[in-house]
Chain A
Amino acid sequence: MNKPKVGFYNLSGCSGCLLTILNCENQLLDVFNGAEVVSFLMAQSNNVEKELDIAFIDGSVTTDEQEEFLHELRPRTKKVVCLGSCSCYGGVQAMENEKGTWLKRFNKVYGKKPFKVVKPFESKPVDAFIPVDYYLPGCPIDADQFLYNYARLLRGLPADVPKTPVCLECKWHENECLLLKDKLCLGPVTSAGCKAKCPSHNLPCIGCFGPADESNLTSEFSLLKEKGYTFPEIERKLRLFGGVKFIKQFKSLWKKAQK
Chain B
Amino acid sequence: MEKSTKVKFNQIRIPALARVEGHGNITVEVLKGKVKDVKLNIPEGPRLFESLVIGKTPEEATSIVPRICAICSVSHRYAAIRAFERALNYKETKATHQLRTLMHYGEMIESHALHAFALALPDFVGYPSAIAMVDKFAPQILKALKLKKFGNLVMEVTNARWTHGENATVGGFGLAPTHKQLFDIKWQAQELIADAEEMVELLRNLSYPTSMEDGIVFMCLKPPTDQYGFVGDRVLISTGEEHPIEKYKELSNERVVEHSTSKRCRYNDRPYVVGALARMNLLGERLRGRAGECFKRCYSLSWIRNPLYGNLAQAIEILYSLEHIPQLIDSILKKIKTLETDAKIQKQPTGTGKNVGAVEAPRGTLYHYYEVNRGIVTGANLVIPTTQNFDSMETHIRVAAQNLLANIENKPLAALTAQERKDIELIFEMIVRSYDPCISCSVHMVEVK
In the complex the two chains form, what is the Cα distance from A92 to B62 in whole Å?
13
Cβ distance B368 to chain A, nearest Cβ, rounded Å = 16
- Tell me if A96 counts as interface (CB < 8 A to partner B): yes
CB neighbours (8 Å) of B261 from chain A are 110, 115, 117-118, 120
With A14-B68, A109-B444, A240-B60 already in contact, the answer to whether A116 and B174 are too (CB < 8 A) is no
Q: Which residues of B contact A203 (CB under 8 A)?
A: 160, 166-167, 169, 174-175, 342
Chain A nearest Cβ from B123, distance in angstroms = 8
Q: Which residues in B have their C-beta under 8 angstroms from that of A59?
A: 45
- The answer to whether the Cβ of A82 comes within 8 Å of any Cβ in the partner chain is no
Are B71 and A65 interface neighbours, CB within 8 A? Answer: no
Residues of B26-62 at the interface with A, using a CB-CB cut-off of 8 Å, are 41-52, 55-56, 60
Q: A172 CB to closest chain B CB, in angstroms?
A: 17
For A9, the chain B residues whose CB sits under 8 A away are: 1
Contacts of B21 in A (CB 8 A): 15, 19, 42
Q: Chain B nearest CB: distance from A203 CB in Å? A: 4
A115 to B42, CA, bound (A): 11
A202 touches B67 (CB 8 A): no
Instruction: Say yes or no for A222: interface residue by CB 8 A criterion.
Output: no
Nearest A residue (CB) for B443: A12
Number of residues in A with C-beta < 8 Å to the partner?
Answer: 68
A197 to B175, CA, bound (A): 11
Inter-subunit contact B19/A45 (CB<8 Å): yes
B179 to chain A: which residues have CB within 8 Å? none
Question: Are A12 and B45 touching (Cβ within 8 A)?
Answer: yes
Chain A residues near B128 (CB-CB < 8 A): 44-46
B131→A29 contact, CB < 8 A: yes
- Whole-angstrom distance from the CB of A232 to the nearest CB of chain B? 9
Bitwise, A93-104 to B at CB < 8 A (1) or not (0) is 101100000100
Partner-binding segment picked from A20-28, A159-167, A210-218, A247-255: A20-28
Q: B195-242: which have CB < 8 Å to A?
A: none
Q: What is the number of residues of chain B that contact chain A, defined by CB distance less than 8 Å?
A: 75
Complex Cα distance, B446 from A68, in Å, reads 28
Asked if B164 and A140 make an inter-chain contact with CB atoms under 8 angstroms apart, the answer reads yes
Known: A197-B161, A202-B175. A23 touches B47 (CB 8 A): no
Please, what's the 1-or-0 string for A45-67, where 1 marks a CB less than 8 Å from any CB in chain B?
11101000000000111110110
A139 & B41 in contact (Cβ 8 Å cutoff): no
- Asked whether any CB of chain B lies closer than 8 Å to the CB of A91, the reply is yes
Any B CB within 8 A of the CB of A88: no
B16 CB → nearest A CB, Å: 6
Q: Check if B18 sits within 8 Å of A47, measured CB to CB.
A: yes
Kindly list chain B residues whose C-beta atoms are within 8 Å of the C-beta of A148. Answer: none
Q: In the complex, what's the smallest C-beta–C-beta distance from A199 to chain B, in angstroms? A: 9
Q: Does the CB pair A15–B129 fall under 8 Å?
A: no
The distance in angstroms between the C-alpha atoms of A201 and B129, with both chains bound, is 37
Q: Which residue of B lies closest to A106 (CB)?
A: B48
Selected contact of B160 from candidates A45, A65, A201, CB within 8 Å: A201
Residue of A nearest to B162 (CB): A23
Cα distance, A236 to B118, chains bound together (Å): 39
Within 8 A of B (CB), among A123-143: 123, 139-140, 143
A201 touches B174 (CB 8 A): yes
Q: How far is the CA of A11 from the CA of B46 in the complex (A)?
A: 11
Q: Which of B252-260, B289-297, B387-395, B402-410 contacts A (4 or more CB under 8 A)?
A: B252-260
Interface centre among B3, B48, B258, B343 (most CB of A within 10 A): B48
The chain B residue sitting closest to A141, CB to CB, is B163
CB distance from A43 to the nearest CB of B (A): 6
Residues of A close to B146: CB separation below 8 A: 25
Bound: A115/B44 CA distance, A? 12
**Interface SS of A by simple majority:** mixed
Check if B341 sits within 8 Å of A16, measured CB to CB.
no
Interface residues of B in 57-83 (CB under 8 A from A): 60, 63-64, 66-71, 73
Closest to A195 in B: B161
Chain A nearest CB: distance from B138 CB in Å?
A: 9
In A62-90, the 8 Å CB interface with B consists of 62-63, 65-66, 68-69
Give Cα A32 to B44, complex, Å: 26
Q: How far is the CB of B79 from chain A (nearest CB, A)?
A: 15
Judged by a CB distance under 8 angstroms, whether B152 is at the interface is: yes
- Asked if B434 is an interface residue, CB under 8 A from chain A, the answer is no
Tell me if A154 is interfacial: C-beta within 8 Å of chain B: no
A174 to B319, CA, bound (A): 39
Say yes or no: A62 contacts B256, CB within 8 Å. Answer: no
Residue from the set A22, A44, A116 with the largest chain B CB neighbour count within 10 Å = A44
In the complex, chain B residues whose CB is within 8 Å of the CB of A26: 145, 149
Residue of A13, A95, A117 near B43 (CB, 8 A) is: A117
Q: Is A105 close to B, CB under 8 A?
A: yes
Residue in chain B with minimal CB distance to A237: B60
Which residues from chain A contact B444 at a C-beta distance below 8 Å? 109-110
Contacts of B119 in A (CB 8 A): 43
Query: Is B269 positioned at the interface, with any CB of A under 8 Å from its CB?
Result: no
Candidates A13, A49, A115, A197; contact of B165 at CB < 8 Å? A197
Residue ID in chain B nearest A143 by CB atoms: B162
Q: CB within 8 A of A106: which of B46, B71, B160?
A: B46
CB-nearest residue of chain A relative to B449?
A: A108
Cα–Cα distance between A192 and B18 once the two chains are bound (Å): 33
Q: Which residues on B sit within 8 Å (CB–CB) of A106?
A: 46, 48
B440 CB-CB contact with A under 8 Å: yes
Q: A208 contacts the other chain (Cβ, under 8 Å)?
A: yes
Known pairs A25-B148, A62-B47 / 13 extra A-B pairs, C-beta < 8 Å: A12-B45, A12-B47, A19-B70, A23-B110, A44-B128, A45-B429, A92-B64, A108-B51, A117-B42, A140-B70, A197-B161, A201-B175, A203-B167
What are 15 A-to-B residue pairs whose CB atoms are below 8 Å? A15-B69, A22-B114, A25-B145, A26-B145, A41-B18, A43-B118, A45-B18, A62-B46, A65-B2, A65-B3, A110-B261, A118-B261, A198-B174, A201-B175, A206-B166
Q: Which 8 A-B pairs have the closest CB atoms?
A: A16-B70, A12-B45, A44-B129, A62-B45, A46-B128, A45-B18, A93-B47, A201-B174
